[in-house]
Homo-oligomer: A and B are copies of this chain.
Amino acid sequence: CFCAGGSHGLSRLFLQVKVSPGEREELRRTSPFTEKYFPQTLDHFNFNSQGNRTFNQRYLITDRYWLKGHGPLFFYTGNEGDIWDFALNSGFITELAAQQGALVVFAEHRYYGKSLPFGLQSFNVPEVGLLTVEQALADYALLISALRGQLAATRCPVIVFGGSYGGMLSVYMRLRYPNMVAGALAASAPILSTAGLGDPSQFFRDVTAVSPVCLSALLSLLLPDYRRIQEKLSLCKPPSSPEDIYQLNGLLRNAFTLMAMLDYPYSTHFMGNMPANPVKVACETMLRASGLLENLRDTAGIVYNSTGALGCFDLYSLYVQCADPTGCGLGSNSLAWDYQACTEINLCYDSNNETDMFPPMTFGETERNIYCSKRWAVLPRPRWLQTQFWGDALSAASNIIFSNGDLDPWANGGVRKSLSSSLIAVNIPGGAHHLDLRGSNDADPESVIKARKTEADLIAQWFFHITREPQFC
């Protein structure tokens, strides 16, 4: 029941800015957004559990681009992290708002960032029990209603946006609230695999597929010479038990996974300062003359030691037990994500060293049950997400874009082929994890420029049919 731990205490399903506090403050200050709080209903689904208590839900808003009375509301359905990180890394949405005259809101997901319903007690049992997808969606629905009322925009169409788990939430908003949401752009949203519809070996197979040159390297870890492994890999202690080796395998698997996800054509500040094209850098590193283990150490260092400040790798702090084998972490954000991975969201991906380059590491239903009941006093409900959000039977839905980059191991857990004339799959050759949501960059490949154009056109169509009449919205 061990699984891959998150480096730097962050979940892998989202990308967090890793800059200094000063730089961060400056980024926020120069952004168009104002930070606000909404008194949100604490429990939407039990009228007796919390009375009418509310908590302060954070959201960011800008009307800089809004053609009030005509323009739509672009609403980002925040996912597992501080909402500023999504706002500062989804430049496409504000660029599109400037083109299309939209009001822009980024809403923070309950139990993340500063939207902690019970403050520091939020991750106690049973307080954590109000962390569910359904509660988060209801939060967004009430926030949208309230904002439309406050801003005299009751009839303005709403388009939802999200990347990764946020993209899943965007899809769900359109399925659940088509009365208020005209359409959704779901970037890199693994809505099928997280609902338990998929092959457990898909994820790490796809990590391997984008990193072919590294294949043989990891096999060398099967060497039993632990002392040598410690020295060459700069581990803080020599591995001396099967558990230690498991931790080491997980730590390395994580590094390759993260570089595949974040394989952007320019340097980014997510989870350590990632170089441009990190997979290329990794493979170049692996091919150095130094020796396989040294190369592996340096490759892992791209992720874990970008500043060079780390003297050695500690197997038990860089890799922690959790319910998301693609990586989860140590901070309070990752606590919330770990709970979600223990309840509704299925992330049981395995490596087997046959269809992928990693050592065999299994995280199946049994291991998940054991971990989750011990950690959170819950049992996962593997079929629940599929029941609630239609699984792969999406034909009754409409106005959803499913975009995916083919470098991204999450891509094949999502919708890759259009399902109807209004359920459109957009593929981005050479694209990493929701590259299309990022702002324009000179290094952008043609594919993402084209994808953004397609997305912009589709989105305009969705609200044009609502606002083309000469009345205010």
Contact = CB atoms under 8 A, between A and B. Distances in A.
Interface of A: 41, 43-49, 51-52, 125-126, 128-130, 132, 134-135, 138, 141-142, 145, 176-180, 342-344, 376-379, 381, 383-384, 387-388, 390-391, 393-394, 396, 398
Contact of A178 (B142, B379, B384, B390): B390
Contact of A387 (B45, B142, B388, B391): B142
A383 B138 CA distance: 12
Contacts of A125: 48
B393 A48 contact: no
B383 A145 contact: yes
B177 A48 contact: no
A396 B134 CA distance: 20
Chain A binding surface SS class = loop
Specify which of A46, A125, A343, A387 lies most central, judged by the most chain B CB atoms within 10 Å of its CB. Answer: A46
Nearest to A389: B179
Contacts of A126: 46, 48-49
A396 B47 contact: no
A134 B393 CA distance: 21
Nearest to A392: B179
Contacts of A178: 390, 393, 396
A343 B47 contact: yes
Those 5 A-B pairs whose CB atoms lie nearest each other, nearest first: A48-B129, A178-B396, A179-B393, A179-B390, A45-B45
B379 A52 contact: yes
6 contacts: A46-B46, A47-B376, A47-B381, A49-B129, A138-B387, A141-B387
Q: How many copies does the complex hold?
A: 2
A132 B387 contact: no
A188 B82 CA distance: 47
Contacts of A132: 45-47
Given A46-B45, A378-B48, A396 B393 contact: no
A227 B414 CA distance: 76
A343 B49 CA distance: 13
Contacts of A47: 129, 132, 342-344, 376, 378-379, 381
Contact of A145 (B44, B180, B344, B387): B387
Contacts of A396: 178-179, 398
A45 B377 contact: no
Contacts of A142: 387
A126 B46 CA distance: 9
Contacts of A379: 47, 51-52
Contacts of A44: 384
A48 B377 contact: yes
A134 B43 CA distance: 13
A378 B48 CA distance: 6
A150 to B, nearest CB: 15
Contact of A46 (B51, B130, B383, B393): B130
Contact of A376 (B48, B388, B398): B48
A75 to B, nearest CB: 15
Nearest to A387: B141
